[in-house]
Structure 1
Amino acid sequence: MINFLLKSISYILHPLIMPLCGLVFYFAKSPRYIPIEIIEAKLISITILTLILPILIYYLLKTLGKAESVDLKTTKERVLPLGLNCIIIYLILKRVFPSNQMIELYYFFIGVLLSNLACLILAIFQFKASIHMIGISGLFMFFIAFSINFGININGTLSLMAIFTGAIASSRLHLKAHTYKELLVGFCVGFVPQLMVMFYW
């Protein structure tokens, strides 16, 4: 039962959904007025680019023998998907969230890009940082930055994020997917870039 629960956490809180979660949170909580048509267009674009497209790329790579499992267990398997994901995030910054629109989301994706690049570099040097921890910690810091920037109390959301972060770390350790060091590095790789870009909001 515990094994099923912890494995489910890894799938439910998958790093692919984190950019979309950040977007939904921003549109739900932002005090700025944003027309519903723009919100819908942005949500559809991000769903396609950060969720559907990476899944299709994974199945293509699996068909070509470049990826054995969805967990990308080896550093060699990670290099190409991470490189392609960096390109996708760059396209998002150029086409979906340019710097003259929704500055908070522009820098959120700058942070996502920096985290992806850092993870890619680590993979090239054969270090397997936890992508799950990168995703959840980056989103956690984005929520903190949002709260500070707009002066909005979201303590309940932040408490929930702390629980989710601990749950993911426990899940990855229990499944023997990562070591403590890989989880800690993953947390820093996700958290620090969002902390850095916060000062440009």
Structure 2
Amino acid sequence: MINHILRAISFIFHPVLMPLLGVIFYFSKTPRFIPVPIVKAKLFSVSILTIALPILLFYLLKTIKKIDSFYLETTQERIIPLILNSAIIILVLNRVLTYNEIPELYYFFVGVLCSTITCLILAFLKFKASIHMIAAAGFFMFAVAIGIHFKININGTIALMCIILGAIASSRLHLKAHSSIELIIGFFIGLIPQLILLNYWL
């Protein structure tokens, strides 16, 4: 039973969902008026580029045997997906969430790009940082920054995210997907770029 629950946690809080969650969180908290059609267009575009497209690319890579499984169990398997994901994020920055429109989300995705590239470099160096922790920590830091930026109370969100981070870490350890050091390094790879980029928009 516990095994199924922990597997479900890894699936529910999959890294591919975190960028979209960041966009949804921003639009749900911002006091700025943004026309509903624009919000829907941004959400649709981000959904296609950061969820649908990566899933299709994963299936393609598995079909042509560039990866053995969707869990990317080895550092070698991570290289091509991380390169493709970096290209997708650059596309989002250039076409969907440009600096002139929504600087907060622009820098959020710049942080995501920095974290992805760092993870890619570590994959080349044969170190498997936890992508789950990278994604969750990046979203966590962005949510905290949004609360500070707009001066809103998000204590509930912060408490929930702390629980989720702990659940993700426990899940990855229980499933033997990562060691403790890989989870800790992943956490800081996700958090630090977002923290540094606060200087540009907070």
Cα drift, residue 199 of structure 1: 1.4
Could you report, residue by residue, the CA deviation over 1:3-41 in whole angstroms, capped at 9, with x for unpaired residues?
000010000000000000011111111111100000000
Instruction: Output one character per residue of 1:117-159: Cα deviation in whole Å (capped at 9) or x when no partner.
Output: 0000000111000000001000000001101111111000110
Q: What are the superposed Cα offsets for residues 51-72 of structure 1, whole Å, 9 maximum, x if unpaired? A: 0000000000000101111110
Structure 2: distance between partners of 1:200 and 1:155: 24
Q: 1:45 maps to which residue?
A: 45
Q: Deviations over 1:65-96 (max 9, x none)?
A: 01111110000000000000000000100000
1 CA distance for matches of 2:10 and 2:69?
Answer: 14
1:4 aligns with 2:4: yes
Partner SS for 1:200: helix
Aligned to 2:113: 113
Q: Which letter does structure 1 place at the counterpart of 2:134?
A: I
Match of 1:97 in 2: 97
Query: Counterparts in 2 of 1:1-201, with a 5 A limit?
Result: 1-201=1-201
Q: How many residues align?
A: 201
RMSD: 0.5
Return the letter of the residue paired with 1:24.
I
Regions of 4+ moved over 4 Å = none
State the identity as a percent.
59
Q: CA deviation at 1:99?
A: 1.1
Specify the SS of the correspondent of 2:70. coil
Q: Which runs of 5+ in 2 are unaligned?
A: none
1:99 counterpart letter in structure 2: Y
Q: TM-score, normalised by structure 1?
A: 0.99
CA distance in structure 2 between the partners assigned to 1:146 and 1:29 by the alignment = 8
Structure 2 length-normalised TM: 0.99
* Matched residue type, 1:41: A
CA distance in 2, matches of 1:123, 1:192: 18
- The 3-state SS of whatever aligns with 2:200 is coil
